[in-house]
Structure 1
Amino acid sequence: MSVRNVERLEGQYAALAPGYTEADEDRWVPEHGKSVYRSSFERDRARLLHSSSLRRLGAKTQVVSPDMDDFSRTRLTHSLEVAQVGRELGRLLGCDPDVVDGACLSHDLGHPPFGHNGESVLNELSSEIGGFEGNAQTLRILTRLESKRFHPDGRSAGLNLTRASLDAAVKYPWRAEEAQLKPDGTLSPKFGVYQDDMEVFDWLRRGTVGRRQPMEAQVMDAADDIAYSVHDVEDGIVNGRFQLKFLNDEVQRARVVQTTQEWYLPESDPGRIEAALSRLEASDSWMLESDSSRRALAGLKNMTSELIGRFCSAIYAATRRAHGDHPLVRHEADLVVPTDTFEEICVMKGIAANYIMASREQMPVYTRQREVISGLHALLMDTGDRFLDPQFQADYRIADDDAGRQRAIVDQIASMTDGACLEWYATLVKGQPVTNRLFA
């Protein structure tokens, strides 16, 4: 490459996207030199794409276990779809697309085996050391467990992403004890940082006040809700769990409205939920029945695309009305989600929750998953670092106290795919031949 071409590339990447500062490009461990081919945020996205933590999401539960069928989403395919939705919405609003893309790719890295069920079990098992939360685990992975750079004193700095990218990946910028109160007066289980990761959290939040998410994190959060609200419904229909025509039955319709209220809209009137459902049903693409033919699958895919466009367009228009046409980045503005749109997204989530997550047939599976994680945790607590992978074994050995050693065990379990967790349980706990099915 000629010197002139290099100079041209350096000039092209010297300027940040409008609204971003040099401080947004800072890394926890300073790195000398910048690529003439890629911006700092493009490098962040590349580090995420090449991470082992992202690859493992391909074998982690989204709604149903990855070994149950070959159509339903995994955590990886869900994350890729969230990134596509978030990147486009963020770009339209003026966000750097790679910052939003990276936040979307990383938003589920901290999820353990068996989805939210596994997360709940690990939280109970680690209650004495600060609990477990998938979003806090994501920050831990990005800044400690998935290593690319190290501090001068030998500590891992994780992938050493820029401040803007790390801040965008923190969905809940507070500690467990600072969590918000739910309508029933209890603390929300959602938080974004463990106490022993506060050093990097304070660094990435430098210059911000309170709990406010940057615009890029808000776009990621909305894209996550949008993607899984429509895709979980699509997966449920294709794998035979339900058809949308079931909602024509008064009893089933009432149950969906109730589930939506209990799970997602506890303070909303059932009449508003019913109205949101009726609006969705009135759309031209709403597909009452699918017979799994190519034509039916195409119609179902068109419905999901139309719904994603419907939700994103409403959010974009409302946000622009509130803030104007200038680039909306970092902590300068808030995403505006119209109430009607939010309720429609919640109804889609409620449909999936009613027919999949809350269905009676799933209860034995959930019970078995809890047994597997609890049994494996008990074994590892009894055997110390004997069976841990080398990196977690090292964390266990350098820990200053029992809490640190237990956290290393929790990190090990959380890192596992569904299949690996089942294999460890079968061979180490039960001494049985390996199987990757819960009911083989």
Structure 2
Amino acid sequence: MEGTAHTPADDLYDTTATERWAAEPDKRPGRTAFQRDRARVLHSAALRRLAGKTQVVTPGTRSYDWDASPRTRLTHSLECAQVGRELGAALGCDPDLVEAACLSHDMGHPPFGHNGEEALNEFAKDCGGFEGNAQSLRLLTRLEPKRFVPDPASGELVSVGLNLTRACLDAATKYPWARGDHPTDPGSVKFGAYEDDLPVFEWLRLGAPADRKCFEAQVMDWADDVAYSVHDFEDGLHAGHLDPNLLFAEPERTAIWRVAIGRYVPADTEPEELRAALDRLMEQEWWPHGYDGSAVAQARLKDATSQLIGRFCLAAEGATREAYGSGRLTRYGAELVVPREARNECAVLKAVADLYVMQRDEQERIRADQRIVLAELAEALSARAPEGLDPQFRAIFDAAPDDKARKRAVIDQIASLTDASARSLHARLAQRTRRADG
């Protein structure tokens, strides 16, 4: 666990920030540590697999009645990375560091989006649960095969994943606590590390204030919110699931506030705050009133998307600069300041997409089927393991010290699957079961 070479481009990131779990030489001198991190994430198989994983609407379904496909986890991650890189650079962060964190923050999410996350969490309740962000850390530091080093105890080669820098892993950590250690809500389902990944989690958090996200992680988190709120709203309009004229109607607005409060904004938020937020957006000259799917309307909607992203990022940049001045802001030297008005506007867009896209009857039927697929797949793989596991996960299963660790290996395999490969594997195992029973 030696430090990597310090370069001038890392001027505000010391050797603690650029250290890697396993020391290694740079194959191309002159690159910064964070340029190497970004390249490793971009070239990873885990990033490519996000192209086949659900963001909001399942890829490959006919849920969208327009020619362009809905966004996937990959396109969301790319858009998040573009937003985060520019906002981070404007505030003095290393842009490659922020981009790498944005690209990798969703890598651990399983097939079928948050629905799949809930299904795997139920299956994993007796071995530490499942959380997409904790799985991302596990993937970055253990599962993605890039770097192997000898184990100090056994001498056997063990994976250290992509072997990213401490600062990059820290920037990708949205929830810097283990399961049950949420600073204010011990029952929270959100956490950033499983129990058997605590050694590397504690290493990457070296010197960090307890439960506090580093500045780059805060930029990543806001870029994530901005990207998915704006783009899910855009997709909903494109798909014809949302008539923008409905946003003037009070019954529709009441339903939006009901979705937003407690989920996207604090439970004590007054509906009037959200009403004012939506009104502010709809009063803008670029708001896509009367969207009808024509080429002109599509161009206007694309402009609205750009305007919204700029609005939210400039609000955070301006408020943060007002609080901290014009210097470079990195690591634990500052907190990202996002005005309440901007958070409410972002939350309203999330609630609109939630209500009109995610809560549609058709989507609930699809989600119910997805939960069945993952539950049956998990049971079938567990009953047959290590048979049926890919060689990588079979090796983890065979080396596991106990039943919990063996179950975790099965979960690791399922989490790595795309939506289509999960369905394909489920179908194959179901067919074998029918043959055995017949």
Could you say which TM-score interval applies, normalised by the shorter chain?
A: over 0.9
Note the residue ranges of structure 2 that are not aligned, 5 or more in a row: 152-156, 434-438
SS of match in other structure, 2:126: helix
2:421 corresponds to which residue? 420
Superposed displacement of residue 410, structure 1: 0.3
1:252 corresponds to which residue? 252
**Quick one: which amino acid aligns to residue 15 of structure 1?**
P
* 2:91 is aligned with 1:93: yes
1:242 corresponds to which residue? 242
In structure 1, what is the Cα distance between the partners aligned to 2:409 and 2:28? Answer: 35
Superposed displacement of residue 37, structure 1: 3.8
In structure 1, what is the Cα distance between the partners aligned to 2:28 and 2:222? Answer: 31
Superposed displacement of residue 76, structure 1: 0.2
| Inter-CA distance 34–423: structure 2 relative to 1 (3 Å threshold) | closer
| Inter-CA distance 100–170: structure 2 relative to 1 (3 Å threshold) | same
* 2:52 is aligned with 1:59: yes
In structure 2, what is the Cα distance between the partners aligned to 1:312 and 1:217? Answer: 15
**Quick one: which amino acid aligns to residue 197 of structure 1?**
D
Instruction: Choose 354-363 or 305-314, whichever is displaced more.
Output: 354-363
**Quick one: which amino acid aligns to residue 321 of structure 2?**
R
SS of match in other structure, 2:328: coil
**Quick one: which amino acid aligns to residue 284 of structure 1?**
E
Superposed displacement of residue 180, structure 1: 4.4
SS of match in other structure, 1:403: helix
In structure 1, what is the Cα distance between the partners aligned to 2:415 and 2:372? Answer: 15
In structure 2, what is the Cα distance between the partners aligned to 1:121 and 1:179? Answer: 22
In structure 2, what is the Cα distance between the partners aligned to 1:213 and 1:370? Answer: 32
SS of match in other structure, 1:155: strand
Note the residue ranges of structure 1 that are not aligned, 5 or more in a row: 1-10, 433-440
SS of match in other structure, 1:188: coil
In structure 2, what is the Cα distance between the partners aligned to 1:385 and 1:291? Answer: 53
1:4 corresponds to which residue? none
Identity of aligned residues (%): 50
SS of match in other structure, 1:351: helix
1:170 corresponds to which residue? 173
Task: Choose the corresponding residue for 1:155, options 141, 151, 158.
Answer: 158
Instruction: Choose 354-363 or 127-136, whichever is displaced more.
Output: 354-363
- Structure 1 runs, 4 residues or longer, greater than 3 Å off: none
Contact 2:180 2:188 in 1 (8 A): no
Contact 1:243 1:288 in 2 (8 A): no
In structure 2, what is the Cα distance between the partners aligned to 1:180 and 1:381? Answer: 34
Instruction: Choose 220-229 or 258-267, whichever is displaced more.
Output: 258-267
Number of residues paired by the alignment?
419
In structure 2, what is the Cα distance between the partners aligned to 1:143 and 1:61? Answer: 23
Instruction: Choose 15-24 or 335-344, whichever is displaced more.
Output: 15-24
2:261 corresponds to which residue? 261
Structure 2 counterparts to residues 72-151 of structure 1, below 5 A? 72-151=70-149
Contact 2:183 2:211 in 1 (8 A): no
Superposed displacement of residue 430, structure 1: 4.4
Give the aligned CA root-mean-square deviation in angstroms. 1.7
2:436 corresponds to which residue? none
SS of match in other structure, 1:151: strand
* 2:41 is aligned with 1:43: no
2:283 corresponds to which residue? 282
Superposed displacement of residue 181, structure 1: 4.4
Alignment deviations for residues 239-282 of structure 1 (CA, whole Å, 9 cap, x no partner): 11112111122211211121111421222011111111111111
In structure 1, what is the Cα distance between the partners aligned to 2:339 and 2:170? Answer: 25
1:187 corresponds to which residue? 187
In structure 1, what is the Cα distance between the partners aligned to 2:130 and 2:375? Answer: 14
SS of match in other structure, 1:231: helix
Instruction: Choose 100-109 or 206-215, whichever is displaced more.
Output: 206-215
Alignment deviations for residues 265-319 of structure 1 (CA, whole Å, 9 cap, x no partner): 2220111111111111111111123222211111111111000000000100000
Contact 1:71 1:235 in 2 (8 A): no
In structure 2, what is the Cα distance between the partners aligned to 1:37 and 1:208? Answer: 28
| Inter-CA distance 430–244: structure 2 relative to 1 (3 Å threshold) | farther
1:327 corresponds to which residue? 328
Superposed displacement of residue 391, structure 1: 0.1
